[in-house]
Structure 1
Amino acid sequence: MTNPTNVVTVLGATRNFFKVGHYTLRRLAADAPQLTLRLAIPEAHLAGQAVSDIAVQLRDWNPADPVSLADVLAGTDTMLMVPPIDRRVEVGGMYLRAAQKAGVQQIVCLGIQFAAGQCAMADEAAELERLLEKSGIAFDIVQLPMFLENVLYQCQSIAETGAFTFPVDADQPFSYITCDDAAELFCHKILAPDSVDLSDALMSHHTQVTCARWATALAEVCGRPITFVRQSDEHFVTSLAKYGMRRRAAEQVLGLWERIGAEGDVAATNTAEQLLGRPTTDLQTWTATHDCCFGPAFAACPHPHPPKQHMFGAA
């Protein structure tokens, strides 16, 4: 039986804090106020402004200095581990060594939908899983598809040009989940570790979607035409590299989309809705409830958004 959790730390290597970590902390603050919550990412004092209304300890650490992780994990019982795309195995191994020294009892680690041999990112995810197995710490690696929140990188493009883009054909189906649904699953695991297994299946909405369908949903919400344009591979890579991602890591993200385009995405499942005890959020509903993200006032929208330096256009 896993010991009760008292301190939960969301650990990441970038200040790109607007997805599952953000929603998980908010849910825990509301559902388990007895817990001590901690956000441990570079420049946490800046990212922490997004959760300034709840009780969260902010801890900065330097990815170039592994020693700096010791303090941020001190006293942590459960760690929500957000491995970076860039140097996933190297940085993930650093996480785990620090977690062992800190006495972390449980890790919930974000994974991807593909298995080793299917794309480069999957190979690194599998290598990190082997390190988790060797760590001696109880863990779940959660197989996750695309987050709908990924389109929030393109709010400016949708607002100003009426277009969004990904490196995939308009009619190619892919699986998805919302960050809030994923966060609720994580909270179930954190609060009752022995009651749920998040490693068993893809945690997704029960049906897939296409970018063409998403363009239609956006147009309905915005009340104006919204176009999906397939992004060239090179533009995708250079866009990510321009805003701080090393080319090798950007190529891994491209490889994930290439796998979806060539072989199809992993099939959607209903496992997430079974574990949640309710339907997961569908694309149409999510898009409608985020209508303020796609208009001229998107910068003042109350929903969590990427840091500005991560925004890229659809040119």
Structure 2
Amino acid sequence: MIVITAPTGQIGGRLLDILLDEAAARGEELRVIARDPGKLPDPVRARVEVVTGSHADAEVVGRAFEGADAVFWLVPPASRAPSLDAAYAGFTHAAAKAFTAHEVGHVVGVSALGRGTPVAGRAGLVTASLAMDDLIASTGVAYRALANPSFMDNLLRQAASIRDNGVFTDTVTADRRAPVAATRDIAAAAAGLLLDRSWTGTGEVPVLGPEDLSANDMAHIMSEVLGRPVRYERQSLDDFRAALTGHGMSAAFVEGYVDMMRAKDDGLDDGVQRTPQTASPTTFRSWCEQALKPAAQA
């Protein structure tokens, strides 16, 4: 039995699609935890067991983890949380107890790059995510944290600006190269770990994409794929802070985002070498062709 949290999100949803085919072929049962089961497509609901509720709730995870061999763990965005600890380790506290109580064998979690770097302790959301990993590992469960850089898919939030103005923004230095990954590859890495549970102990599984890219590199590739000029505009951290505040985020989450983006510009994602094991297959160009271009044309 594999339990999937956040099954309607961009990573959890892709993971569920993969496992529906792979797990069925192996005779593996699937169970999902969903706040709103109505967001699951009807054909999916017919093929999985659904536990309704929040996976921060002790009663919900108690029911969901009963008889589970493996769990996919993803903390949903909590932009109004009073603290980063509450949003990550606090959200995970009930599940950590349930992993032990129900003798769950393996857990795969979505986390971030940065462990061991000089800026890891002042990286906002990433620092909180790494503390969550430590909490899960302390239970004794076999645990793999998917250590991710920034997501290509985050650019979909700017599809309208890219289409209408030929502009995308971020806070990083324009020519600083760093890894970037597609969420489809993160989901695929999770699926591989959940289906082949021969691993033991705790550790990280970096998902680095096939190459390091700068914002200027991305602008060049987007221009070629979309057939029109696209340029990068660097946003100051003060302007970034003001924009997040305007969206109603809590002060703790605003500063957590700002600290994370400052840390990324200071080398947060640079600590892991790309190898055949840490690289993931989706190139930024192919992602632009398959995801960004249709979104920009919509």
TM-score (norm: length of structure 2) = 0.82
Matched, 1:82 2:86: no
Displacement, 1:210? 0.9
Identity %: 20
Distance 1:203 1:253 in 2: 21
- Aligned position for 1:38: 31
CA contact (8 A) 1:189 1:198 kept: no
User: Which of residues 109, 131, 136 in structure 2 aligns to 1:127?
Assistant: 131
User: Which of residues 150, 157, 168 in structure 2 aligns to 1:153?
Assistant: 157
Matches within 5 A, 1:242-257: 242-243=246-247, 245-257=249-261
Matched, 1:194 2:198: yes
Distance 1:41 1:243 in 2: 25
- Aligned position for 1:284: 285
Distance 1:157 1:44 in 2: 32
Matches within 5 A, 1:216-231: 216-231=220-235
Matches within 5 A, 1:294-309: 294-297=295-298
Query: Aligned to 1:143, what secondary structure does the other structure show?
Result: strand
Gap runs ≥5 in structure 2: 79-86
CA contact (8 A) 1:164 1:228 kept: yes
- Aligned position for 1:175: 179
Per-residue displacement from partner, 1:244-264 (whole Å, max 9, x unpaired)? 643312322222221121346
CA contact (8 A) 2:56 2:93 kept: no
Displacement, 1:234? 3.7
Distance 1:254 1:135 in 2: 31
Displacement, 1:108? 0.4
CA contact (8 A) 1:241 1:250 kept: yes
Matches within 5 A, 1:38-77: 38-46=31-39, 48-49=40-41, 52=44, 55-62=47-54, 65-77=57-69
Which piece of structure 1 moves more, 218-227 or 157-166?
157-166
Kindly provide the amino acid, as one letter, of the partner of residue 223 in structure 1: G
Kindly provide the amino acid, as one letter, of the partner of residue 17 in structure 2: R
Displacement, 1:204? 0.7
Which piece of structure 1 moves more, 282-291 or 235-244?
235-244
Query: Aligned to 1:250, what secondary structure does the other structure show?
Result: helix
Alpha carbons of structure 1 residues 253 and 286: separation in structure 2 relative to 1, 3 Å: same
Query: Aligned to 1:175, what secondary structure does the other structure show?
Result: strand
Going by fraction, where is strand more abundant, 1 or 2? 2
Query: Aligned to 1:126, what secondary structure does the other structure show?
Result: helix
CA RMSD of aligned residues (A): 3.0
CA contact (8 A) 1:237 1:247 kept: no
Which piece of structure 1 moves more, 184-193 or 124-133?
124-133
Distance 2:89 2:4 in 1: 18
Matches within 5 A, 1:93-108: 93-108=93-108
Query: Aligned to 2:112, what secondary structure does the other structure show?
Result: coil
CA contact (8 A) 1:113 1:202 kept: yes
Query: Aligned to 1:135, what secondary structure does the other structure show?
Result: coil
Per-residue displacement from partner, 1:207-233 (whole Å, max 9, x unpaired)? 210111111111211111222222232
Matches within 5 A, 1:200-219: 200=204, 202-219=206-223
Query: Aligned to 1:168, what secondary structure does the other structure show?
Result: coil
User: Which of residues 13, 16, 26 in structure 2 aligns to 1:25?
Assistant: 16
CA contact (8 A) 2:51 2:60 kept: no
Displacement, 1:63? 6.4
Distance 1:293 1:59 in 2: 34
- What is the number of residues matched between the two proteins? 284
Matched, 1:258 2:262: yes
Per-residue displacement from partner, 1:270-306 (whole Å, max 9, x unpaired)? 34x4378xx6222112212224433241xxxxxxxxx
CA contact (8 A) 1:37 1:57 kept: yes
Distance 1:220 1:209 in 2: 15
Distance 2:294 2:112 in 1: 26
Query: Aligned to 1:193, what secondary structure does the other structure show?
Result: coil
Distance 2:132 2:230 in 1: 39
- Aligned position for 2:81: none
Distance 1:200 1:51 in 2: 33
TM-score (norm: length of structure 1) = 0.78
Alpha carbons of structure 1 residues 234 and 9: separation in structure 2 relative to 1, 3 Å: farther
Distance 1:99 1:238 in 2: 39
CA contact (8 A) 1:27 1:187 kept: yes
CA contact (8 A) 1:201 1:269 kept: no
